[in-house]
Amino acid sequence: MSTNTLPLALRVAVRDHFDSSESGVKKALAEFHELLGAEYTLLVPWPLLRDAVPSSELDNDVFVQSVCRGLETFVRKLLKLVEAEETGFADKFLDRTQQAHRIEVKSHPDAKASTSFVRYGPEASGGVIQLFVPRVRAGYSGAGLTAFGADLVVALEGSDKNPADPASKTSFVDAGPNGNGVVAAAEVDGFVEVGVKPKVASHVPTPFPSLDAIPRPDTLLRQAPYHLILRGGGEQMSIEGHPPSLELIRDYLRHHIRQGGEPEAIIMNGPWGVAVGQLQIAYTRRYGSTPQLSTTVIISLIENVLGFERVEDVSGQGFFYWKRETPFEGI
């Protein structure tokens, strides 16, 4: 389907993250084609993939970025396997697929599965490569992202020999993030429209928490998932949430940002002590006008260094909100 016939929001996302010559997928494909001396067509039916996710709870930009991240991982693993001549994979792969020269992307048959899998079409089809991608956001980060292309070798032996393929007799149960075969409700509806709260999938009653069982505030904020909220900008801003992250941001600013003055980055005392206070950041200058603080630096620290994800676009209301599901080690 031509991208001109896609819904506007989806078309823009595909243009920016997939069709662009700067996209990671296109760069990985270009390297793959150069290595083989032949081009493989990558067919991505964006409308069909999109329709496999509840449209009322879908952010097209997040969705396309996530799928592109998985596709790039897949192509780069394929590239690495072909480069490793000693394994013999390249010859088997080319013999199986050289007639079709085509990779087809499809939605995973299991709506809750958080891992992708590969099938090679029969010789009659020219050996089309079929990549079945998850319908949930959990399939595009952590173990889910690592799974892309992990079964490229074993899939050559047939669907029944590939544990990741639901058609396999040895197929494993997709443990998901909870390790119990069930993907968390927030991740089942993972491509959530910004600002929309996911629906709770389970109606099983849970005990109401006991006050005595709730940890102290300084301990509570150190437990995953972690949260960070940023307010302000310009000459002064504040961040509250995960205490070790606040300390790292404070120390980074004190160490790096010095231009005729210095940033005052202080963790203020909260009602429960310093550990659960706010990080107050203000720039003071010994002479001249006071410079503006760079919100971009703070956002880069939070998203690129600390690995938090922005879960709500509330910047128009005067603050930003981030969340990190995966625990840090050693804190």
Half-sphere exposure of 69 toward its Cβ, with a 13 Å CA cutoff? 17
180 shares a domain with 225: no
226 shares a domain with 150: no
160 shares a domain with 15: yes
126-130 mean pLDDT: 88
Q: Answer whether residue 202 shows pLDDT above 90.
A: no
pLDDT at 69: 93
pLDDT bin (cut points 50, 70, 90) of residue 223 is confident
115 shares a domain with 36: yes
Read off the amino acid at residue 316: G
42-51 mean pLDDT: 92
Nearest to 167 by CA among 243, 114, 108, 123: 108
**What is the rounded distance in angstroms from the CA atom of residue 245 to the CA atom of residue 323?**
12
62 shares a domain with 172: yes
312 shares a domain with 233: yes
310 found inside a domain: yes
192 found inside a domain: no
pLDDT at 72: 95
224 shares a domain with 177: no
Question: Domain ends where: 129, 154, 187?
Answer: 187
198 found inside a domain: no
Question: Domain ends where: 187, 203, 236?
Answer: 187
Q: Answer whether residue 120 shows pLDDT above 70.
A: yes
CA dihedral 261, 262, 268, 273 (to 10 degrees): -140
252 found inside a domain: yes
148 shares a domain with 62: yes
pLDDT at 236: 79
For residue 83, CA distances in Å to 38, 77, 304 come to 14, 10, 30
13 found inside a domain: yes
pLDDT at 315: 54
pLDDT at 169: 53
- Give this prediction's pTM: 0.53
129 shares a domain with 26: yes
SS3 of 124, please?
helix
125 found inside a domain: yes
183 shares a domain with 276: no
pLDDT bin (cut points 50, 70, 90) of residue 181 is very low
Instruction: Look at 49-53, 172-176, 317-321, 324-328 and tell me which has the smallest mean pLDDT.
Output: 172-176
292-308 mean pLDDT: 85
224 shares a domain with 83: no
60 found inside a domain: yes
Q: What is the pLDDT of residues 244-256, one digit of tens each?
A: 999 898 888 878 7
Residue 40, phi then psi, degrees to nearest 5: -110, 130
Domain extent at residue 18: 3-187
Q: In what order do the strands lie in the sheet with 129-133?
A: 41-43, 102-107, 129-133, 117-120
**295 or 104, which is more confident?**
104
331 found inside a domain: no
152 shares a domain with 216: no
Question: Domain ends where: 171, 187, 203?
Answer: 187
Number of domains in the chain: 2
Q: Are 248 and 202 in contact (CB under 8 A)?
A: no
